[in-house]
Structure 1
Amino acid sequence: MSVKAILSIAVALLLLYLMFTVGAPFLLALVIAIFLEPLNKLFMQKFKMNRLFAATLSSSLFTLILLGAIALLGVKIVAELIAFFQKVPLYFDNASSYVDQLMQNANLLYENLPPDAAAALEEWVSSLTSTITQMAGSLSKSVVSIASTLPGMFIFFIVFLVAVYMFSFSLNTMKQSFLSFFEEKSRPQVDQVLTNLKKSIFGFIRSQFILSALTYIISFVGLLILGVKFPMAIALLIIVVDILPILGTGSVLVPWAAFLLLTGDNYTGIGLLVLFLVITVFRRIVEPKILGDSIGIGALSALISLYVGFKLVGVVGVFLGPLVVIIYMAARQAGLFQTKIKL
């Protein structure tokens, strides 16, 4: 492989990484615009609309549906989140009261214990106090972090919606401009790569939606069985955190379960641990299969791409790793990268 080809691949990977980080709203808008393209063609062919009017109509329909879904589902979830955050100080007060009571009980035990046993008990209580304090601090930081991201999420949403309209207006010219970078004889192959890539990317998005929906259902049902308050909001939080591969939900469920076990709520604490195990096992078993079937790669390849991507570039790699495999497979199907090893 030539130096030019290696540099081209490196630049392409860098652009992909940027698209999944700072360019995320534009990448998402581009995917939505591609999804709306058949509707644009239908409007133009059946109702004789020009592209500007057809793209405006389809993008407006998408915006109305999205805002309607947010209004129907988001209001309930936001209400639960607000109620949950309002009770967070109460949870901290309960934890502090529990620690104080524990220290009082420990002081009573010190008087009747041998020196060695008293020292061991004091060390255990100190360790337990430190653990509870760290958990409370972690929860407090999480609340502040979520609150601080709200303005950024609003800006992200506005930029995303504007970009949907702009990409819908100019999607056909963007494709022609992209193909113009290639030689005339190479354009059919590149066009085939784009077609295969579109199918695989939509399969990838569909698989992630299916996994998130199933995870939400499992979490919501589990929380309902345990009688936990705010199940809709907490299940949504679990989905967001579950993006992290390998025990992602543990950052929510495990500290919560540990706190409940320490404060005497064994039923809910053990139930949350069981729910955590169920979600983790479900994701690890089902995710490679669903992802592989949706994007046309094997389950093993999907699992390897998920793990390697995560280890190399973090959470972004969970999406970037499979996408690199998708692009490579699309290029091979178009007749590129057919080099064989000769011995």
Structure 2
Amino acid sequence: MFTYYKRYARTAFDIFLIVFTVYLIMFVFSYVYNIAKPIFVGFVIYLMIEPLARFLHKRGVKKSIATTISTLVFVLIILGITVTVGIIFTLQIHQLAQSLPHYIYFFQEELIAKANYVQMKLNALPPGVVEKIGDYSQIIANKSSSFLSGLLLGLFNFLTSIPTLVMNFVLGLILAYFLSLEIVQWKRLAEEKTPKTFKKAYYFLKENVIKGILTYVKAQLKLISFTFLIIYFGLLFLGIENSFSISLLSAFFDLLPILGVSTVFVPWIIYLFIIGRITPALWLGLLLLVVIVFRQIAEPKITGESLGVSAFTMLSFMVISLSLFGVAGVILSPVLLILIKALYEKGYLKKWIRIPKEEYEEK
């Protein structure tokens, strides 16, 4: 055993240094992200408005005017989408909220009727079996209550954070505007003052990571868009009201790690089964199955082609990052995973991690 530890001591130390470096980067990024969110938002907005501003500037338009036009176009597009989607979503959610008391009353009536029927059947069972069923039912009820409480708390926290999100967006928009105006000076400063080692690292990141991240974001947007369209047209085909809001809500949950569209569909299907609407429940189950199968087929293809990283690896890394560093970890985890993949393909990891040569047969 001692010989084994001695043989792999250097390898373990090298791996520890890499893991520690990744952890340190995640920790620093999460700290900086929490205190400088508007700056990150501003940089993202800058990436959106700069192409049009650069295009207009090359056509002879003054940079300040080109940036102003590009910013106004961006704001008008965002406002148009937000207002249109917001009005439709609000109206359908309001309609659903008005119908909710009727659904709850009908659900309670059906649940009481089925509970009475089950109680009659349970009276014929031995007392021990009834007690075990009661214990299991209590456990299921507690788990369901905890899940719903957490879901509602998360939704409440999101709603209460909307003013902060709006403020961050406005500050980010202002920062993006000034960054677009001053980008030439910032590039010149970076070119003159940045050491060669950091320049080399930046070009490596630009070539191997940044392009991969943009491709990854496009791939995720494709998947979410397809999911939204499948659910929307499926609900329209089934004649279900508020199809747009339900599809939008499903796409939102599909965006979040772990949750997915099942968060919306599974409780809905269970509710329909309880109230005796078997046919709609089966159709919704079929629609959910179609979405799941589509994700299983399309996600490895789209994401895999864009990153070359398996969906399991990406999701596992995102889950761990979310647990350790919150939202900042989820944002940075694809960057680091793509970086590690690029370092492996370029041969850097083989140079940095010393592995005993006698452990592998020479080919």
1:205 to 217, 221, 224: 217
Kindly tell me: are residues 149 and 85 of structure 1, through their superposed partners in 2, closer, same or farther at Cα, counting changes over 3 Å?
farther
DSSP 3-state at the match of 2:351: coil
Output aligned runs, 1:279-290, within 5 Å: 279-290=291-302
1:162 to 168, 171, 183: 171
* Structure 1: distance between partners of 2:347 and 2:142: 59
Output aligned runs, 1:140-155, within 5 Å: 142=151, 145-155=154-164
1:232 aligns with 2:241: no
Q: Deviations over 1:295-319 (max 9, x none)?
A: xx3153x541222322443484555
How far apart are 1:212 and its partner, in Å? Answer: 0.9
2:317 to 270, 292, 308: 308
* Structure 2: distance between partners of 1:264 and 1:128: 21
1:41 to 37, 42, 54: 54
Aligned AA (2:166): F
How far apart are 1:220 and its partner, in Å? Answer: 1.0
Q: Deviations over 1:72-122 (max 9, x none)?
A: 333112211222233333322222222222344456x46xx9743798679
* Structure 2: distance between partners of 1:270 and 1:136: 25
Aligned AA (1:167): A
Output aligned runs, 1:13-52, within 5 Å: 13-17=26-30, 26-50=39-63, 52=64
* Structure 1: distance between partners of 2:142 and 2:240: 23
TM-score, scaled to structure 2: 0.74
Kindly tell me: are residues 84 and 292 of structure 1, through their superposed partners in 2, closer, same or farther at Cα, counting changes over 3 Å?
same
CA contact (8 A) 1:19 1:27 kept: no
CA RMSD of aligned residues (A): 4.0
Match of 2:274 in 1: 262
Unaligned runs of 5+ in 2: 1-13, 358-363
Identity %: 23
CA contact (8 A) 2:228 2:247 kept: yes
Match of 1:65 in 2: 77
Aligned AA (1:152): S
CA contact (8 A) 1:193 1:334 kept: no
1:252 aligns with 2:264: yes
Kindly tell me: are residues 232 and 199 of structure 1, through their superposed partners in 2, closer, same or farther at Cα, counting changes over 3 Å?
same
TM-score, scaled to structure 1: 0.78
How far apart are 1:267 and its partner, in Å? Answer: 1.1
DSSP 3-state at the match of 2:161: helix
1:298 aligns with 2:314: no
Output aligned runs, 1:103-142, within 5 Å: 103-106=115-118, 109=120, 115-116=124-125, 142=151
User: Relative contact order: is structure 1 or structure 2 higher (C-alpha 8 Å, sep ≥ 6)?
Assistant: 2
CA contact (8 A) 2:209 2:335 kept: no
Aligned AA (1:69): I
